[in-house]
Structure 1
Amino acid sequence: MTPHESILKLREKMSESIIGQETLIDRLILVLLANGNMLLEGLPGLAKTRAIKSLASELNCGLSRIQFTPDLLPSDITGTEIYQPELEEKFIFQKGPIFSNLILADEINRSPAKVQSALLEAMEERQVTVAGKTYKMESLFMVMATQNPV
């Protein structure tokens, strides 16, 4: 199967679960191929969540959904170092939900600037810095951020 045929098949499979959103499907695939990220602004119920879930299912890859709220902390998305006294290295890094392949960043406009900054580092630099250490993202990594215009 050629790459073009694979893309057409992906589009067809996604169209089976998302009716009437061909433009959204095309843009999701385009962003994926461009190794980019996307921001969707729209009212609830327009298949934004369903679209990214369908893409993750068809690609057979990891998906994390992060609900952005005013009380969210950067460590809630990036992860944090956990103290483990029984280990030789006392602190181990526990990855946060940003370390998945596809990320649904829901209602990013509701979060504090520090949280958005942590998300932007992952999106732009494909890495996360926690406690002075840098952790690389997966080679397949895409963020679909949403915001509600209301």
Structure 2
Amino acid sequence: MMVMAVMKALSLKKSVYVLVIASVLSGCVSEEERLARCEAKGVSRDVCYQVDRANQQMIDNNAQQSAYANARAAVKQHAQATKKKSVYYYEGMEIKKVSTGLNINGLPASLVEKEESATVYQQGLHYFIVYNTGHLAVLNNQRQMLGWAK
């Protein structure tokens, strides 16, 4: 009854906040409670403490790794927001970046190698290295640098 009286006194928004906070806090267990449960199973307090510390450290490490991964993903998205060039020219060749890879004078190039920072394609006697920075290098069949496509 008392809860209902308090709920009526609060606005709907405030009552939702109170319910959320109450539900979150009801699931919380203090360190002492965790140690008491462990000791109730017949394990010494020192071992229980060490296990609890290890669990807390593992949770912290996982949260930190997730935060780093999310931050890396966010930074990559900022870099991708810039418009990259999609058509290059080198000695009469028209090189286009398309969704399926690379087209040279309208013919598809085959994927040779894909790395984190660059992708290598081959078409005819030429190799084409497409860097994530937007640069495109042209190599001959002995993989000697011929120049940069512009």
Give the alignment's TM-score, normalised by structure 1.
0.21
Structure whose CA Rg is larger: 2
Q: TM-score, normalised by structure 2?
A: 0.21
Q: Whose RCO is larger (CA < 8 A, sep 6+)?
A: 1
